[in-house]
């Protein structure tokens, strides 16, 4: 384990560059009402190479679903003129993206309040050290392993959480496949901390940990995550170069209808699918681990932001999955628990219905491998902060998400074998 800890810091010191700034950049939200308006957004993207936030590329834009993208201040003038001329309604979600980025860290002071501890986003080195120490401090409940290495050589850490016993059911919690979605790794850390803190105290959690092993990957795309901390807050992909551009979208790289929609072939795009299925070492590491543990793993939950959605397969096809009814019901129960805490509203459904057709996603792949409960959360928020959820909202987001995860886990616990 010591060796592993030493390895954590390899590749950590890249040359010092000035981080990318987003001064006065805008974030647009368009709600296209018709196919014609959708076509116009695609045309605009073709002409101006819009940087899509949600969905990840313009081919996924569909009528009546919001489409968010980021542009420079100069481009925004042109785009606004175009949209006004076409009579397409839009909102500006951020007038100055750099300010929104900085606002993430403006924590509300909660003085003299022990229960009001402030939760912060953590850079990779801190997460790695935390993983090491949480395993060290809770040897009966947590063990740490490495499932492979990233392109830049960082060990991909997995924490097995639960009472150590043979023949247990497993649930994969996969965080940080997209670098800029920082609330996702924060949730995985929250989950592990809550598990060790409440084991033996909270009956429900104790029962879960006695019978289920949670396989938690705090940060899947570590190289990208590091880049998002040091160089470009809005980085999404991994960091392997592909010709003139860098990075593959790991959540398009899985071996399931890979690149079927043939729109993600440009290596400069945010949703570039890679040179082939499982072309990326990170995808390989994850897929290999799942394949090895298919007998025990019953559920897989992938955490993303933003949009407040609970998604399930398929993304790569429009038809319903075979166990659609039961998965749909479970999603409804999970969201009842989630919104019961603060009233946060989520929508839910299959990826293809809710955000459009997507190939090569991790939950579609694991579903096809035989994991019948594969979910993807798009965590907070819905509109204002996009990927830049302020730190003051980490805690409530994790608290409510925890309730939904527990519902899914309790369902798994009740399954026969």
Ligand X SMILES: *[C@@H]1O[C@H](CO)[C@@H](O)[C@H](O)[C@H]1NC(C)=O
Contact positions vs Zn ion (CB under 5 A) = 178, 304
Distance CA 306, CA 276 (A): 27
Distance CA 133, CA 37 (A): 52
Nearer to ligand X, 149 or 211 (CB): 211
The distance of closest approach from Cβ of residue 113 to ligand X in the complex, given in angstroms and rounded to an integer, is 4
Which residue has the CB atom at the shortest distance from Zn ion?
304
Nearer to Zn ion, 67 or 141 (CB): 67
* Residue 217 CB burial class (10 angstroms; 0-12, 13-18, ≥19): buried
Nearer to ligand X, 227 or 289 (CB): 289
Element (H, E) at 174: strand 169-175
Nearer to ligand X, 211 or 353 (CB): 211
Which residue has the CB atom at the shortest distance from ligand X?
116
Distance CA 283, CA 360 (A): 10
Binding at 111: pick from ligand X, Zn ion, none (beta carbon under 5-8 Å per type): none
For the chain, how long is the longest CA-to-CA vector?
65
The distance of closest approach from Cβ of residue 347 to ligand X in the complex, given in angstroms and rounded to an integer, is 21
The distance of closest approach from Cβ of residue 190 to Zn ion in the complex, given in angstroms and rounded to an integer, is 18
Give every strand in the sheet of 142-149, ordered side by side: 142-149, 155-161, 212-217, 169-175, 297-305, 373-379, 309-312, 347-350
In this structure, what token pair is assigned to residue 103?
């606002």
| Cβ-contact 406, 333 below 8 angstroms | no
DSSP string, 223-250: HHHHHHHHT-TT--S---EETTEE---G
Binding at 178: pick from Zn ion, ligand X, none (beta carbon under 5-8 Å per type): Zn ion
Nearer to ligand X, 20 or 197 (CB): 197
Binding at 115: pick from Zn ion, ligand X, none (beta carbon under 5-8 Å per type): ligand X
Binding at 153: pick from ligand X, Zn ion, none (beta carbon under 5-8 Å per type): none
The distance of closest approach from Cβ of residue 351 to ligand X in the complex, given in angstroms and rounded to an integer, is 20
Give every strand in the sheet of 51-54, ordered side by side: 51-54, 67-71, 26-30, 90-94
Binding at 278: pick from ligand X, Zn ion, none (beta carbon under 5-8 Å per type): ligand X
Nearer to ligand X, 18 or 113 (CB): 113
Binding at 215: pick from Zn ion, ligand X, none (beta carbon under 5-8 Å per type): none
* Residue 12 CB burial class (10 angstroms; 0-12, 13-18, ≥19): middle
Decide if 378 is catalytic: yes
In this structure, what token pair is assigned to residue 141?
């409940």
Interstrand relation of 297-305 and 245-246 (parallel, antiparallel or unpaired): unpaired
The distance of closest approach from Cβ of residue 408 to ligand X in the complex, given in angstroms and rounded to an integer, is 9
Phi-psi label, residue 274: left if phi above 0, alpha if psi -120 to 50, beta otherwise: left
Nearer to ligand X, 28 or 151 (CB): 151
Interacting residue ranges for ligand X, rule: CB under 6 A: 110, 113, 115-116, 203-204, 207, 255, 277-278, 337, 406-407, 410
Distance CA 232, CA 246 (A): 13
How many other CB atoms are found less than 10 A from the CB of residue 333? Answer: 14
The distance of closest approach from Cβ of residue 341 to ligand X in the complex, given in angstroms and rounded to an integer, is 12
The distance of closest approach from Cβ of residue 405 to ligand X in the complex, given in angstroms and rounded to an integer, is 9
| Cβ-contact 175, 199 below 8 angstroms | no
Binding at 304: pick from ligand X, Zn ion, none (beta carbon under 5-8 Å per type): Zn ion
Which among 37, 181, 278, 378 is annotated as catalytic?
Answer: 378
Distance CA 277, CA 235 (A): 22
Q: Which residue numbers are catalytic?
A: 378
């Amino acid at each position: 384990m010591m060796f592993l800890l030493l390895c954590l810091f390899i590749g950590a010191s890249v040359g010092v560059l000035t981080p990318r700034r987003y001064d006065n950049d805008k974030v647009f939200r368009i709600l296209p009402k018709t196919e014609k308006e959708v076509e116009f957004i695609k045309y605009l993207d073709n002409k101006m190479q819009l940087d899509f936030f949600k969905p990840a590329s313009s081919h996924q834009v569909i009528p009546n679903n919001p489409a968010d993208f980021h542009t420079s201040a100069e481009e925004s003038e042109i785009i606004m003129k175009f949209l006004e001329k076409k009579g397409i309604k839009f909102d500006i979600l951020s007038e100055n993206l750099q300010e929104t980025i900085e606002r993430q860290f403006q924590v509300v002071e909660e003085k003299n309040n022990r229960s009001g501890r402030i939760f912060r986003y953590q850079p990779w080195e801190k997460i790695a050290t935390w993983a090491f120490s949480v395993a060290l401090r809770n040897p009966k409940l947590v063990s740490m392993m490495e499932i492979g290495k990233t392109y830049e050589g960082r060990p991909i850490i997995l924490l097995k959480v639960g009472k150590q016993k043979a023949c247990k059911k497993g649930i994969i919690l996969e965080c940080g496949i997209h670098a800029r979605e920082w609330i996702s790794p924060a949730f995985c850390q929250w989950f592990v901390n809550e598990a060790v803190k409440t084991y033996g105290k909270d009956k429900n959690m104790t029962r879960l940990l006695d019978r289920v092993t949670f396989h938690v990957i705090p940060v899947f795309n570590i190289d990208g995550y590091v880049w998002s901390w040091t160089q470009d807050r809005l980085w999404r992909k991994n960091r392997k170069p592909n010709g003139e551009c860098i990075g593959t979208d790991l959540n398009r790289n899985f071996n399931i209808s890979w690149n079927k929609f043939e729109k993600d072939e440009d290596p400069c795009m945010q949703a570039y699918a890679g040179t082939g299925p499982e072309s990326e070492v990170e995808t390989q590491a994850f897929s290999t681990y799942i394949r090895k543990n298919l007998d025990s793993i019953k559920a897989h939950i992938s955490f993303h932001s933003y949009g407040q959605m609970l998604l399930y397969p398929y993304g790569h096809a429009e038809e319903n999955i075979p166990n659609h009814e039961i998965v749909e019901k479970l999603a409804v129960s999970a969201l009842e628990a989630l919104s019961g805490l603060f009233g946060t509203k989520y929508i839910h459904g299959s990826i293809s219905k809710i955000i459009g057709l997507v190939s090569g996603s991790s939950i579609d792949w694991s579903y096809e491998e035989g994991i019948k409960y594969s979910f993807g959360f798009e965590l907070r928020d819905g509109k204002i902060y996009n990927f830049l959820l302020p730190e003051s909202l980490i805690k409530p987001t994790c608290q409510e998400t925890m309730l939904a995860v527990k519902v899914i886990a309790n369902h798994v616990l009740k399954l026969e074998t």
